[in-house]
Amino acid sequence: MSAAQTATAAHRSAVDELYVQVLRFPTDTPEADGTLAWDETTMVLVQAGSGTASGLGWTYGDPATANVITDLLRDTVVGRPVHDVPAVNEAMSRAVRNAGRPGLITGAISAVDIALWDLKARLLQLPLADLLGRARGDVPVYGSGGFTTYDEQQLARQLESWAEQGMNRFKIKIGEDWGGAEHRDLDRTEQARKLVGDDAELYVDANGAYTRKQAVRIGRTLAGLGVSWFEEPVSSDDLTGLAQVRDAITADVTAGEYGYDLPYFARMVPAVDCLQADATRCGGITVWLRAAAVAEAHGLQLSGHCAPHVHAHAAVAIPNLRHLEWFHDHVRIENLLFEGALDPTGGALHPGQDGEPGLGLTVRPDIAERFRAHS
Ligand SMILES: [Mg+2]
């Protein structure tokens, strides 16, 4: 089939079916940040079918997300043209009005949106990066983990493994016990600085654990360790507090991982130095690209939160990308579940380089079967 015939066929293709699975992956060791602890991660995986083609999307969230897809979204999506992903995204958003869109429901919309972008690119036989159009050559990443549950040896092993891959940006969790363990937070950050060396970028994420004044005090101490990124020093719902901390410290103050719609990001931009957005929560790749534009219009960069294999292709399409989060849990899961996982060697990804269509990923059926949740 010629390229023109392929494009025409893709244009006529409709979504035939959404197939949803819930997969539960135990963590390799117990994990916690400043405000939450967990021992497993749940992935809701969507496969959108059109003829013999299938597109992959997913979100990390509660298993009930799967019910939203089958009960609230499927009838809206099936039968619509694969070609018109923004139109399907809009139809899904309108269909859930009375169910309450932000939160878990937008996670469901996100997973479907991602699957549809993958499906469209596969039907056109293009890497998704090429379908969206590139604004940049590669995608910088930073190693992210450093859970508060780790002892010194575990933290050292993790940071060293990223450094061995050529990464030069590292993020650890602080704010342990809702800000009740300041000394340990500072000790662990100091340990991390010694391990990664003075030239590396060192980031911290408090997950909203501190009070405003506490965050300013901690932030000023962390400046002495060269920390350049202070994520959610206070609750991301406290925009006034975020702005106060941002104005009082030298590190970039960042937030945005709980953004479920575009107005959220518009409200947040005046309070942060770098906006974060998560395509598996904010409404998929469709809305993530718009969040990037909101940030750009305010002179800010965007950093992709978690799920690096969802973000990589979209990230090359935006000029104001800071980087993507190479998050330990999700990297582990995505490397295990998918053939075609990306290589972060040198601290950057090169999505689509192999010419594979869509996101370039294939589910390993034996892994999906092994980790499928049985309710
Ligand atoms: Mg975070």
Q: Beta strands 338-339 and 274-277: pairing type?
A: unpaired
Mean pLDDT across 269-282: 98
Distance 362 CA to ligand 1 centre (A): 28
Tens of pLDDT along 357-369? 999 999 999 999 9
pLDDT in tens, 155-179: 999 999 999 999 999 999 999 999 9
- How many residues are recorded in the chain? 375
Is the pLDDT at 38 greater than 90, yes or no?
yes
With bands split at pLDDT 50, 70 and 90, how would you rate the model's confidence at 374? confident
Check if 3-126+364-370 and 130-361 are the same fold: no
The pocket of ion ligand 1, defined by CB under 5 A, consists of 205, 231
Is the pLDDT at 7 greater than 80? The verdict is no
pLDDT at 375 over 80: no
How large is the average pLDDT for residues 138-155? 98
Q: Which residues contact 276 (CB under 8 A, 6 or more apart)?
A: 231, 254, 255, 256, 257, 259, 302, 303, 304, 305
Q: What is the pLDDT of residues 229-256, one digit of tens each?
A: 999 999 999 999 999 999 999 999 999 9
How much distance in Å is there from the Cα of 49 to the middle of ligand 1?
A: 33
Going from the Cα of 257 to the center of ligand 1, the distance in angstroms, rounded, reads 6
Q: How far is the CA of 365 from the centre of ligand 1 (A)?
A: 31
Average pLDDT over residues 117-124: 98
Q: Which run of H or E residues covers position 32?
A: strand 17-32
CATH superfamily name and code, 130-361 = Enolase-like C-terminal domain (3.20.20.120)
Superfamily the domain 3-126+364-370 falls into: Enolase-like, N-terminal domain (3.30.390.10)
Q: Measure 79 CA to ligand 1 centroid, in angstroms.
A: 37
Q: What separation in Å is there between the alpha carbon of 255 and the centre of ligand 1? A: 7
**pLDDT of amino acid 10:** 61
DSSP 92-157: HHHHTGGG--TTHHHHHHHHHHHHHHHHHHHHTT-BHHHHH--SSS-EEEEEEE--TT--HHHHHH
CA of 122 to the centre of ligand 1 (A): 32
Q: How many CB atoms lie within 10 A of CB 37?
A: 11
Q: Show the CA angle centred on residue 277, arms to residues 25 and 39, nearest 5°.
A: 20
Residue 364, both tokens: 């390993």
pLDDT at 5 over 90: no
Q: Where are the domains of the chain?
A: 3-126+364-370, 130-361
